Amino acid sequence: MGRIAECFARLRTENRKAFVSYIMGGDPDVETSLKVMRGLPGAGVDIIELGLPFTDPMADGETIQLAGQRALEGGMTLNRLLEMVRAFRQDDDTTPIVVMGYYNPIYSHGVERFLDDAKAAGIDGLIVVDLPPEEDDELCLPALAKGIDFIRLATPTTDDARLPKVLQNTSGFVYYVSITGITGAAAAQSTEVGPEVARIKARTDLPVIVGFGIRTPDAAAEIASVADGCVVGSAIVGELAKGRPVEEVLEFVSGLAGGAHRA
C-alpha cells in the first residue's frame, strides 16, 4: 500500500476528512518554499500537492500563474523540484506528495527517467492536467507500472458518458474540480458539489477530493462535509504572494485544515 492509500485508510479509522494543500514549488524562492512544505504536516495537512512551474499554465488562474512565474524567475526547474522532495523526505517519510503540473517538462526530462527519479525522490502521485485519458500510454500507464498514482480531474462538464473513461486508470483519489474555469475563479458551493461527488462515488471506490474555490475554514468544512476531503491552493499561494512570514502562512493553513477536519 502506497502513502496515499495509507493516508486515506488512516483518515477513515479516525473518521476524518482529508485536507490537501497546494503550493508552487520554488515560490517565492526555493528556501522559503521548502520551509513552508516542511511545515505543512504540522499545520494539519494530510497530502501535499506540489506545483511544477511551467511557462504556459493554461488551467491556472492569475494567482497560480504569478507563483509559477516567480518560481521560474528564481531558477526553479524539474530537477530542483526533485531536490525539494528529497530534502523533505529526510525528515518526513509519511506525508504523501503529489506533483501537479503539465506534461512538457516531464516529456523534456524523459518519461522513464522522470518516473525513476520521482519514485526515488519520494513522489507518490501525479496530476498532469493536459494529458487526457486518450493519452494514457504517454505517462499514466508507465507511472502506474512504477507504483506512482495517476490522479485524474473530473469537472462539472464530465458527464455520465465521459466519466468511465476518466476513471478507468485513475488511482490514489479523484480530484473533483468544483467550478468550471480556472483556479481561484469563484467560490465552491456544497449544494452543487454534493450531488456531483455522489455521482462519481457511485462509479468508483476511490476517495473524491474537491478543489477550486475554497478560501476559508468554513468553506473547507462545508465542502469536505460532502466529499472525502478538500484541496486549497490559490488562497495559500495568495498568502505567500503577500510576503507573509512562513509562520503566518502555516497558521493560515492550520485554520483551513481545522475546517476540513471538523467536517
For residue 44, the enclosing domain spans 3-261
* CATH assignment at residue 148: 3.20.20.70
List of residues 6+ apart from 154 with CB closer than 8 A: 163, 166, 167, 174, 175, 176, 177, 196, 200
Q: What is the pLDDT of residue 59?
A: 72
Is the pLDDT score of 186 beyond 60?
no
Mean of the per-residue pLDDT values for the chain?
94
List Cβ neighbours of 135 (8 Å cut-off, separation of 6 or more).
Answer: none
Q: Is 14 annotated in the active site?
A: no
pLDDT in tens, 16-69: 999 999 999 999 999 999 999 999 999 999 999 999 999 988 778 889 999 999
Residue 188, pLDDT score: 61
Instruction: Using a pLDDT cut of 90, give the percent of the chain over it.
Output: 89
The confidence score (pLDDT) of residue 196 equals 94
Would the pTM count as exceeding 0.75? Answer: yes
Question: Is 81 within 8 Å of 109 (Cβ atoms)?
Answer: no
Does residue 182 register a pLDDT over 50? no
Residue 210 has pLDDT above 50, yes or no: yes
Q: Which of 60, 149, 222, 239 is catalytic?
A: 60
In the predicted structure, residue 187 carries a pLDDT above the cut 80: no
Q: Grade residue 184 by pLDDT with cuts at 50, 70 and 90.
A: very low
pLDDT in tens, 122-157: 999 999 999 999 999 999 999 999 999 999 999 999
Question: What is the tens place of the pLDDT at every residue in 89-116?
Answer: 999 999 999 999 999 999 999 999 999 9
Q: Could you tell me the three cell numbers for 121?
A: 525522490
Of residues 212 and 249, the one with the higher pLDDT is 249
Q: How many domains does the chain have?
A: 1
For residue 128, the surrounding DSSP H or E stretch is strand 125-128
**Is residue 218 very low, low, confident or very high in pLDDT (cuts 50, 70, 90)?**
very high
Active-site annotation holder among 6, 29, 31, 49: 49
- Catalytic residue list contains 60: yes
Q: What is the DSSP letter of 152?
A: P
Q: Where are the alpha helices (DSSP H) in 159-245?
A: 163-167, 190-201, 217-224, 234-241
